[in-house]
Amino acid sequence: MTAFTAPLRLRLDSDALVSNWAWLKHRSGAAACGAAIKADGYGAGAVEVMRRLIKAGCRDFFVSNWAEAAMVEPLLEQGISLAVLHGVRDEDMAVALCSRARPVLNTPVQIARWKAAGGGPCDVMVDTGMNRLGLDWRADVAAHLAGLKVETLMSHLASADDDTPLTATQLMRFKELTRHVPAARYSLANSAGICLGESYAFDLTRPGIALYGGIPRSEAEGLIRQVVFPQAQILQRRLVLAGDTIGYNATHVAARDMEIAVLNLGYADGYLRGFSGCGRVSFQGVGMQVVGRVSMDLIAVDVSEASHVAEGDWLEIDYALPAAAAISNLSQYELLTGLGPRFDRVWS
Ligand SMILES: *Cc1c(COP(=O)(O)O)cnc(C)c1O
């Protein structure tokens, strides 16, 4: 039997993932440090991420919905907790009641639904100023939750990656909630919140992006390591003559004779058109630039100065997240979660 391999792959660095979690745990002080593994582990693969983080000592995981919960449920051994951030719709109840994951209840309707079904262990989200999911912090939250066994009361920071007064305001509102809303644990900080220091950590932190190599704030620079390394194979190397154009809509005109390599990677893989004419790749330390538009499944790079690269070689796509975000006008989050299913995901 021949094993099928794709012409594009993500090299995923286990040591870097675990090292990032350990740094975030250290920054969380006495609080437990969990892991957001929604969106298939930010594109890295939720099951493989969870397996590695459990081994490293992580006990608390977060996904968005019940389909994501089902993907990782086989890994839920004793003492491992999984919370479903979007809570329970009517359509989720049958699955939720049989699941070992807990819903994060976000609305009075979700709370009523969960209570009516017996009110088992649950988490609760309170909105302290983001106006996304959660009970309004101004409501009588304790009254809403009367009779429920709340494992984790949480809120989410809207702009901890900026320096804005809203972050401290949310902290103050959340602190007030911890004084009169009973819960076994309290949790506020995402990756950026962890960078802000232990006053944001409470009992449990919920990093996502920084686990996967994102740098949410300067405090993490040089300490968080890149985890995801895309690579794509050369399908063709060709000569382009002066005056010829390259790619869709002929956006690149060759100023002189040049050579290009055409790589098996495109916007359908999450390498979006923001990288047209500016993305960078490398081979054995030699850097090269994307020329012309990114196609659905292909890109061209200028290999005029790289005589050693040939059809079949694997090139490294520059994907250090802050730099790649700056040149592509995408967020570090979009760069990770857009990485599609056509990559082979290869852990080292
Ligand atoms: C996604 C998410 C996180 C993780 O946020 P990062 O910014 O990726 O660290 C934490 N908490 C909640 C509620 C989330 O939705």
The predicted model gives 166-173 an average pLDDT of 98
- Which mutation among 156, 159, 331 tests ligand 1's pocket best, with the greatest number of atoms within 8 A of CB? 156
Structure tokens at 6: 């794709």
Q: Which of 38, 42, 267, 271 is catalytic?
A: 38
190 C-beta closer than 6 A to ligand 1: yes
User: Average pLDDT, stretch 278-306?
Assistant: 97
The full set of domain ranges for the chain reads 31-214, 228-347
In this prediction, what percent of the chain has a pLDDT beyond 70? 99
Hey, whose CA ends up nearest to atom 15 of ligand 1?
A: 85
Model pLDDT for residues 46-84, shown as the tens digit of each residue: 999 999 999 999 999 999 999 999 999 999 999 999 999
As a whole number of angstroms, the distance between CA 121 and CA 172 comes to 27
pLDDT tier, 41 (very low <50, low <70, confident <90, very high otherwise): very high
Q: What is the mean pLDDT of residues 260-283?
A: 98
- Stated pTM of the model: 0.97
**Can you give the pLDDT at residue 199?**
97
248 is known as an active-site residue: yes
The amino acid at residue 296 is M
Question: Does pLDDT of 129 surpass 90?
Answer: yes
Residue with tokens 């839920």: 76
CA of 306 to the centre of ligand 1 (A): 41
Rounded CA-CA distance 231/228 in Å is 10
Predicted pLDDT of residue 306: 95
Q: Is the separation of the CB atoms in 138 and 121 below 8 Å? A: no
User: Is the CB of residue 160 less than 8 Å from the CB of residue 208?
Assistant: no
Residue 300: per-residue pLDDT: 98
Q: HSE on the CB side for 309, CA within 13 Å?
A: 30
So what's the pLDDT on residue 119? 87
Q: How far is the CA of 261 from the centre of ligand 1 (A)?
A: 38
- Ligand 1 centroid to Cα of residue 313, in Å, is 37
Cross-strand partners of 238: 260
* pLDDT at res. 192: 98
* pLDDT classification of 1: cutoffs 50, 70, 90: low
Ligand 1 geometric centre to CA of 36 (Å): 6
Local confidence band at 3 (pLDDT 50, 70, 90 cut-offs): confident
What is the Å distance from ligand 1's center to 263 Cα? 33
86 lines ligand 1 (CB under 6 A): no
Average pLDDT over residues 130-140: 97
Residues whose CB is less than 8 angstroms from the CB of residue 135 and which lie 6 or more positions away in sequence, other chains included: 106, 107, 108, 111, 124, 125, 126, 127, 141, 144
| Predicted pLDDT of residue 218 | 96
Atom of ligand 1 nearest to the CA of 206: 10
The CATH fold of domain 228-347: Lyase, Ornithine Decarboxylase; Chain A, domain 1 (2.40.37)
**Residue 321 falls in which region: left (phi positive, over 0), alpha (psi -120 to 50) or beta:** alpha
Q: Which atom of ligand 1 is nearest to the CA of 209?
A: 8
C-beta 85 within 6 A of ligand 1: yes
Average per-residue pLDDT for the chain = 97
Q: Residue 242: count other Cβ atoms within 10 Å of its Cβ.
A: 10
Is residue 340 scored above 60 in pLDDT?
yes
- Measured between alpha carbons, how far is 334 from 272 in angstroms, rounded to an integer? 10
**Among residues of the chain, what percentage have pLDDT more than 90?**
99
Q: Is the CB of 144 under 6 A from ligand 1?
A: no
* CATH code at 31-214: 3.20.20.10
Quick one: pLDDT at residue 190? 98
Mutate-to-test residue for ligand 1 from 27, 37, 64, 85, highest number of ligand atoms within 8 A of CB: 85
**Ligand 1 atom at minimum distance from 156 CA:** 13
Binding site members for substrate:
132, 296
Cα Rg of the chain, angstroms: 23
Distance (Å, rounded) from C-alpha 53 to C-alpha 60? 10
Question: Is 175 in the active site?
Answer: no
| Helix axes of 14-27 and 46-56: crossing angle, nearest 10 degrees | 60
Give the residue, out of 106, 206, 321, 336, with the most ligand 1 atoms within 8 A of its beta carbon, to mutate for a pocket test: 206
pLDDT at residue 4 in the model:
87
**For residue range 75-115, what is the model confidence (pLDDT) as tens digits?**
999 999 999 999 999 999 999 999 999 999 999 999 999 99
Segment 319-325 mean pLDDT: 98
Q: Is 207 in the pocket of ligand 1 (CB under 6 A)?
A: yes
How many residues does this entry show for the chain? 348
- On the question of pLDDT at 154 being above 70, the answer is yes
pLDDT digits (tens, 9 = 90+) for 183-226: 999 999 999 999 999 999 999 999 999 999 999 999 999 999 99
The pLDDT of residue 2 is: 62
